[in-house]
Chains A and B, each alone.
Chain A
Amino acid sequence: MPRPLARRSTALLAAALLLPAIAGCGVDEDDAGLVIYSGRNEKLVKPLLDELEKAVGTTVAVRYGESAELAAQIQEEGAKTNAGLFFSQDAGALGALSTKGLLQKLPQQSLDKVDPAFRGSAGDWVGTSGRVRVLAYHPGQVAKAPDTVHDLVEPEWKGKIGYVPTNASFQAFVTGMRVLEGDDATRAWLKGLKANEPKVYDNNLKVLDAVDEGEVSLGLINHYYWYERVAEEGEDKVKAKIHFLPGGDPGALVNAAGVGIVKGSDQAPAAQKAVDFLLSEKAQKYFAEDTKEYPLAAGVTSTVKDLPPLASLDAPTIDLGKLQSLQETLKMLQDAGMV
């Protein structure tokens, strides 16, 4: 009875060893003139990076991953890294690599293309696009959305708020609040929010859905989710509205995706071209139109309908590189019983 099985498993084993040789896979990075470690999702940036390849004029290979994990990987690789460019989803990961001295200083002319608020204090990374924390609200249930996150702890919002405590952008916002207002105030706010029994969702889209369907009245999300939804379904089909918090409110934090040139690779010239491309008008327009983010350079302003200009937002001023100190934030969220 088990005789054919034995033969079968030997055959399977042999096949298994041969198969990957047949299944072709991937770009050989030895041939690539530039390797990009991208913490930004392939779905968001692939068309842009295809364009980038043309602009740089050499083969470009992209490795996608989570920004934090890729940052850890670059740290482990050290001087032997394959990465020429690190394209991060948020400023924190870039700040971490900068602190470890793993990023190369960028030429002043590149840095100058971007507002100092959206580049590394050591001049070794630069923001490429920004996103703003906003309040989504259901107009049928909310006459006027609050103008500060501090109002969210008021009893009138009990059980009516949706949020994603595990989301990196939410956590960056809390970190920003700590930088702006101190740990005690932040802790008190988190406690108040928790006491208001907010509804927890897995991701920002679900929060938007919940607001849209009136399941909750308010939702804490990033701005582009709403604009993408509107672009896809048409504004008349989307019930939810968004509100930009004014007056430097911590709830209006602007976080940036950005790039840095990784030290130790011999790809610096190509990487520099890539940085210049990402700060070019073409790339900035892509962020404005395709990912519905805020362009940060080349004088590009968003063409998305109704998107207020970045300059008009009155966002809080903080050093984005400091957003790498999330550890304490997480402890607070854990203590508050949120994550």
Chain B
Amino acid sequence: MHPADPVAQTDPAARPTGATPPAGRSRAGRPPAALLVPAAVAAVFALLPLGYLAIRSLEHGPAFAWGVIADERTAQLLGRSLGLAAVVVAACLVLGVSLAWLTVRTALPGARAWSVLVTLPLAVPSYVAGFAWLSAFPALAGFAGAAVALTLVSFPYVYLPVTAALRGTDPAQEEVSRSLGHGPLKTFLRVTLPQLRPAAAGGAVLVALYVFSDFGAVSLMRYDTFTRGIYTSYRASFDRTPAAALSVVLVVMTIALVAAEARSRGRAGHARTGTGTARPAIPLALGRWRLPALAWCAVVTGTAVLTPLATCGYWLAVGNSATWEPDTLADTAATTLGVAAAGAALTTLLALPVAVIAARHRGRTATLLEHSAYAGHALPGITVALSLVFFAVRYAEPIYQELPLLVCAYAVLFLPVAVAGTRAAVLQSPPVLEDVARSLGRSPLKVLREVTVPLAAPGVAAGAALTFVVCMKELPATLLLRPTGMDTLATRLWTETGTGSFAAAAPYAAALILLAAVPSYLLGRHRT
């Protein structure tokens, strides 16, 4: 016992956990009712399609459903879907993370304009992308074509949350790494990238689920996937039971994927630790990498945005069905903006409590809620739409084929899109700020409104923008659930291309892509 070193004394009660109990544990307790109730509502909402599937798939008895699931072809389709998803996810991670880093952290010329352009591909419906690529390169038909088309419409799912995460990370950590002798690349790989993992993984899951659920691109590219099998069941046999049984497999696969992602997320804390409040980062000079960086941005956005736009131009130029109806276009665009905004708003509101619980109250409840939100996300739009038809005609007839139901359908379809962005953003703000707000007299709900949400605002807004854009281009559920006579840009596009009137379709496709720039632009304007 050396008297000069009292702290080194052995203390029977001393615990190796450090001065502060880990934030995760101290907060792991039951989430407050103010969060739990709305989160449970959101989860129940998202689980509706599963309830429907349970009823439908067992319609002809479990033996029939098992027969469909155990079919050799089912496994084969599953393998094809998984393979496609793996390739698309890998490609999206490379595109999304590299572009996010370039636009947020470097002195890329025109970074703000790029950050808007890069998100536009999201608005390209996969069937338009598929069509554009197939027209330009017929040889792409098959796996390669499906992978290219899907990658180029879904990489913003990775780009947006990673961008938000990059804005939230403390540049001081990168400075520390640089001072420890690591170059910019090594710093990026060892310090920045690990912190982006929750955001990137969340985006990757969305991409994978998008690939699982996509029908447009794979059907044009003639690449047989699981979802195509489900559509075939509806379209070819007019039988909902095999489609439902196949959908159940998709749900199981989704839950496995989400659970794997959650496990990989681990317990790591990502809130900034260090003195005081983070300073905004100083952009990294690109030096001789300036031109290659610019070229990379140009190539990606060019191929992802210009190919479909050029296809629209080509349709206009060669088609003879061109009917220029600016009034109809404007009306349709206004309606589309309205329903998509309502869809995004409801989805974001429902996603918030789920995301906050997932970020702040880790435990069984959080896992259950989050998995519920994701469970139906890989289902094709037609299955989700039919499930809402099923429930609405039985229990909510007054809103059946009315606007509120369509908006609810968007929420069911896209809840995970909003949850992913919001959770990652909430994770990045230090929990102690919420404690302080509580101690200053704020109720949990007020803390959410005044501290958690404003701090997570870039991520929440990015999630809302994503949701808005995917709502705009949603087709199968919109067709079944829209108020009779209502048209969105996507349904007009479907109508016009349905008769091969591509020139008449072009303005709607172009409007869809260009309108997607609105939320991206609004988000971009507030970046400093």
Contacts and interface: CB of A to CB of B under 8 A. Distances in A.
Are chains A and B touching directly in their complex (CB below 8 angstroms)? Answer: yes
Nearest to A335: B73
19 contacts: A2-B454, A2-B457, A5-B457, A8-B526, A9-B464, A12-B461, A13-B345, A16-B342, A20-B341, A23-B339, A27-B483, A41-B498, A69-B234, A71-B238, A76-B390, A76-B393, A168-B235, A327-B232, A331-B73
Interface string B479-492: 11011111000010
Contacts of B484: 26-27, 29, 32, 35, 61-63, 82
Contacts of A327: 232-233, 236-237, 239
Interface stretch (A202-210, A254-262, A271-279, A303-311): A202-210
A331 B237 CA distance: 11
A66 B222 CA distance: 19
Given A8-B522, A12-B464, A62-B485, A330 B341 contact: no
B341 A9 contact: no
A78 interface: yes
B389 A77 contact: yes
A142 interface: no
Chain B: number of interface residues, binned into ranges: 35 or more
Contact of A5 (B394, B461, B501): B461
Interface in A286-319: none
B482 A26 contact: yes
A68 B385 CA distance: 14
A6 B457 contact: yes
Contacts of B224: 334, 339
Interface in B447-477: 453-455, 457-458, 460-461, 464, 476
A153 B484 CA distance: 47
A326 B235 CA distance: 8
Nearest to B343: A16
B312 to A, nearest CB: 16
Interface in B493-515: 495-496, 498-501, 504
Interface of B: 73, 131, 134, 141, 219-220, 222, 224, 232-240, 280, 320, 334-335, 337-339, 341-342, 344-345, 348-349, 382, 385-386, 389-390, 393-394, 397, 400-401, 403, 407, 453-455, 457-458, 460-461, 464, 476, 479-480, 482-486, 491, 495-496, 498-501, 504, 522, 526, 528
Contact of B401 (A29, A96, A334): A29
A42 B486 CA distance: 12
A97 B240 CA distance: 12
B338 A20 contact: yes
B490 to A, nearest CB: 13
Contact of A27 (B458, B485, B495): B485
Given A26-B483, A68-B235, A233-B320, A16 B344 contact: yes
A273 B458 CA distance: 57
A35 B232 CA distance: 27
A282 B486 CA distance: 28
A73 B480 contact: yes
Interface in A28-58: 28-29, 32, 35, 41-44
Contacts of A77: 389, 393
B141 A330 contact: no
Contacts of B389: 73, 76-77
A156 interface: no
Contacts of A69: 234-235, 382, 476, 479-480
A22 B342 CA distance: 12
Given A1-B528, A330-B236, 17 more contacts: A1-B526, A2-B457, A4-B526, A12-B341, A12-B461, A13-B348, A20-B342, A23-B335, A25-B403, A27-B485, A66-B479, A68-B236, A72-B382, A72-B386, A73-B389, A97-B238, A326-B235
B238 A96 contact: yes
A13 B468 CA distance: 11
B10 to A, nearest CB: 47
Contacts of A204: 500
A92 B334 CA distance: 37
B393 A80 contact: yes
A325 interface: yes
A145 B407 CA distance: 53
A52 B144 CA distance: 47
B336 to A, nearest CB: 9
Given A23-B334, A72-B386, A6 B453 contact: yes
Contacts of B348: 13
B495 A330 contact: no
Nearest to B323: A43
B23 to A, nearest CB: 22
A177 interface: no
A198 interface: no
Given A12-B464, A72-B386, A76-B393, A20 B403 contact: yes
Contacts of A129: none
Interface in A60-107: 61-66, 68-73, 75-78, 80-82, 92-93, 95-97
A324 B344 CA distance: 38
Contacts of A171: 236
User: Closest 6 A-B residue pairs measured CB to CB?
Assistant: A96-B238, A16-B341, A326-B236, A26-B485, A23-B338, A26-B483
Contacts of B234: 68-69, 72
A43 B501 contact: yes
Given A2-B526, A20-B342, A20-B403, A232 B320 contact: yes
A143 interface: no
B15 to A, nearest CB: 37
Contacts of B345: 13, 16-17
A42 B495 contact: yes
B500 A324 contact: no
Nearest to A46: B495
A95 B237 CA distance: 11
Nearest to B393: A80
A19 B400 contact: no
A15 to B, nearest CB: 7
Contacts of A71: 238
Contacts of B233: 327
Contacts of A110: none
A121 interface: no
Given A43-B496, A77-B393, A65 B479 contact: yes
A98 B407 CA distance: 32
A82 B453 contact: no
Given A64-B479, A69-B480, A76-B393, A202 B134 contact: yes
B376 to A, nearest CB: 16
Nearest to B168: A2
Contacts of B464: 9, 12-13
A92 B460 contact: no
